[in-house]
Structure 1
Amino acid sequence: MADKELHVQLPQVFSELFTPARYKVFYGGRGSGKSWAVARTLLLMALQRPIRVLCAREYQSSIADSVHKLLTEQIDAMGLSAWYTVTKAGITNSAGSEFIFKGIHHNIMEIKSTEGVDVCWVEEAQAVSEESWQVLIPTIRKASSEIWLTFNPLEESDPTYQRFVVSPPPGAIVRKVNWRENPYFPDVLREEMEYMRRVDPDGYAHVWEGEVRTISDAVIFKGKYEVRAFDTPENARFYFGADWGFSQDPTVLLRCFIKDKTLYVDRETYGVGVDIDDLARHPGERGRSMFDEIPGSRLWPIYADNARPETISYVRQRGFNIRGADKWPGSVEDGIAYLRSFERIVIHERCKHMAQEARLYRYQVDKRTEEILPKVEDANNHCWDALRYALCKYITRRRGGQPVFKPTGY
């Protein structure tokens, strides 16, 4: 290879594959080119110096289950066939590099005895169990050896997601990559992606955006909401609701309106760690004024979480018509019942945090039996709390039945 110069393009997001690190984790949705980029990078690296690459996955009953085919295709696509030798069981090259392929789960002793691995590429890493990680990681022990992961997330509780995304090892390179980062994203996949985005927001978020999957029947607003662009009527009667951030929780302000028994959420502003000075400022005062980021916020009443009276007072002193929303035992459940009484909840596509919470806000699930419990999970609820506060004057206490829908006009 010394007399031949290669020019191989990779999306910019994968440039860190060439940065030394013990762990390199690239996860996300379909169409991002993760596996393609890793295959190309490893094939190039293997021509610069002799390395041993272990291509592993949790289950591999035959070589057809591995990335052998992908690597072979990329050897041909990059014009490297003169330097690589491909057999049914492995791949070697003229620089002395070797690619070997193993399943972890059924080959524990083989994995333990594998020596001299420079790079271990774990494809479809979402399926790897905690027991397999405990075997594999100590096996990759050569000086400066690296472990690379590519996967599409499944459940948040999966060992791989917890170990490498929720609580990654120190110094790990962890990047979420999706179709947007792939300049070679094909039109045929784009058509599939756009169709799913329209008809199945939850499925789109999981498949294409790489979000963890939810237990769909536990999702509180399953089948009730949609995410799309829409025009706001000029004569809309707006409702504003605010939820305050605590520690790592976000502060949220939402705007919504009602039309034909459909609830529309058309604006949001959202921030974590927002200083109180940046929540609201006097007109003309310099600096961020979060509440002024939504048009009309000084004109319409705002109802907020009443747990922070001092914050409500601060915002009111700066010219906003804000007050605390009423609460009572069961007010969260009553608010959910009222919101579900709308024929449809439509979230504007620019309200990204509201849309994300819509697919994640759910009832608690028994971890052992997977039974859905009659308790609301205290997570992914900040936008929904703000929405309940916005409409708090229309939410009534239940007396043995569901709240009656009150047409409020717009």
Structure 2
Amino acid sequence: VAEFEHIWHGAYLKRTDSLVFDQNKLKIWDFEEHQKRDLLFGVDWGWNDPVAGIRCYEADGQLWITHECGGVHLTNEKIIEQLKTLPDMDRCISRGDCAEPGKIDMCNRNGFPRMVGCVKKFKSRGGENKLNFIETGVSHIRTYSQINVHPRCENFIREYGLYSYKVDSKTDEVLNEIEDDNNHWFDALRYALEPKIKMNTSRKVRVIYG
């Protein structure tokens, strides 16, 4: 995926040992959705960075990403227009970045009454250790045996091939810290998967709301 983006879309070619996710798990194809599925929706807000929306579900131990939406410099009106391109989102629970509650309220008033803020704070069951929501989400996504993505989800596909750990500029060592880049649709995916992440880690963590 990364090499494809480098050749055709001009993206920087990333070191494969610094990439966050296994590139062999990604399957890009025009699949038919399962009839029985629990649809999940997530939205990451932005302005200079893009607003990013994801529609997905779990089935057969795999992740299925069906639709995406988004763009930069979107007014509230344009955000609503973009979100309406995600089928069924108006009738399902969706999760937006809780850092901007005003955006969630705006969506509640304009066709998405079931949108709620995502949970970002996790602690160990005993409350001793605060867990990183990004790393917890990454660990959960790694549990899927395959990540199926519809070809129309071009932004997610691009980020999958670029989402990386930092590399020390002096030693060339891959660091245990994820770059804050190429992550907008991945953030939306983590928000969408929040209930699944919570379920997967319920024996290990206590979730704190707010």
| Counterpart for residue 180 of structure 2 | 378
| Counterpart for residue 311 of structure 1 | 103
Higher RCO (Cα < 8 Å, 6 or more apart)? 2
Q: Partner letter of residue 39 of structure 2?
A: F
The yes-or-no answer on 1:260 pairing with 2:60 is yes
Once the two structures are superposed, what CA deviation does each residue of 1:142-163 show, in whole Å capped at 9, x if it has no partner?
xxxxxxxxxxxxxxxxxxxxxx
The yes-or-no answer on 1:231 pairing with 2:32 is yes
Note closer, same or farther for the CA distance 1:235–1:278 as it changes in structure 2 (3 Å cut).
same
Distance 2:200 2:41 in 1: 23
| Counterpart for residue 117 of structure 2 | 324
Distance 1:382 1:397 in 2: 23
Note closer, same or farther for the CA distance 1:257–1:209 as it changes in structure 2 (3 Å cut).
same
Work out which of the two has the higher radius of gyration on C-alpha atoms and give 1 or 2. Answer: 1
Match of 2:43 among 242, 245, 257: 242
| Counterpart for residue 20 of structure 1 | none
Q: Partner letter of residue 228 of structure 1?
A: W
| Counterpart for residue 2 of structure 2 | 202
Distance 2:165 2:56 in 1: 24
Note closer, same or farther for the CA distance 1:276–1:209 as it changes in structure 2 (3 Å cut).
closer
Q: Partner letter of residue 312 of structure 1?
A: I
The yes-or-no answer on 1:274 pairing with 2:74 is yes
Q: Is the 8 A contact 1:334 1:396 kept in 2?
A: no
The yes-or-no answer on 1:221 pairing with 2:13 is no
Q: Partner letter of residue 249 of structure 1?
A: D
| Counterpart for residue 163 of structure 2 | 361
Once the two structures are superposed, what CA deviation does each residue of 1:269-318 show, in whole Å capped at 9, x if it has no partner?
011000012222xxxxxxxx221111111011101110000110110112
Structure 2 unaligned regions, length at least 5: 122-130, 206-210
Q: Is the 8 A contact 2:159 2:185 kept in 1?
A: yes
Deviation at 1:208, TM superposition (A): 4.4
Q: Is the 8 A contact 1:252 1:271 kept in 2?
A: yes
Once the two structures are superposed, what CA deviation does each residue of 1:76-119 show, in whole Å capped at 9, x if it has no partner?
xxxxxxxxxxxxxxxxxxxxxxxxxxxxxxxxxxxxxxxxxxxx
Deviation at 1:374, TM superposition (A): 0.7
Distance 1:357 1:402 in 2: 29
Root mean square deviation, CA, Å: 2.1
Once the two structures are superposed, what CA deviation does each residue of 1:119-159 show, in whole Å capped at 9, x if it has no partner?
xxxxxxxxxxxxxxxxxxxxxxxxxxxxxxxxxxxxxxxxx
Deviation at 1:398, TM superposition (A): 9.6
Distance 1:227 1:371 in 2: 31
Deviation at 1:397, TM superposition (A): 9.8
Provide runs of 4+ in structure 1 moved above 4 Å: none
Match of 1:335 among 130, 137, 144: 137
Q: Partner letter of residue 176 of structure 2?
A: P
Q: Is the 8 A contact 1:269 1:290 kept in 2?
A: yes
Q: Is the 8 A contact 1:331 1:397 kept in 2?
A: no
Note closer, same or farther for the CA distance 1:392–1:292 as it changes in structure 2 (3 Å cut).
same
Distance 1:318 1:361 in 2: 33
Aligned residues: 193
Q: Partner letter of residue 379 of structure 1?
A: D
Query: In percent, how many aligned pairs have the same letter?
Result: 31
Structure showing the higher strand proportion among its residues? 2
Distance 1:315 1:298 in 2: 10
Partner SS for 1:257? strand
Q: Partner letter of residue 358 of structure 1?
A: Y
Partner SS for 2:89? coil
Partner SS for 1:293? coil
The yes-or-no answer on 1:292 pairing with 2:84 is yes
Distance 1:208 1:331 in 2: 33
Deviation at 1:209, TM superposition (A): 4.2
Q: Is the 8 A contact 1:256 1:263 kept in 2?
A: yes
Q: Is the 8 A contact 2:52 2:71 kept in 1?
A: yes
Note closer, same or farther for the CA distance 1:344–1:277 as it changes in structure 2 (3 Å cut).
same
Q: TM-score of the superposition, structure 2-length normalised?
A: 0.85
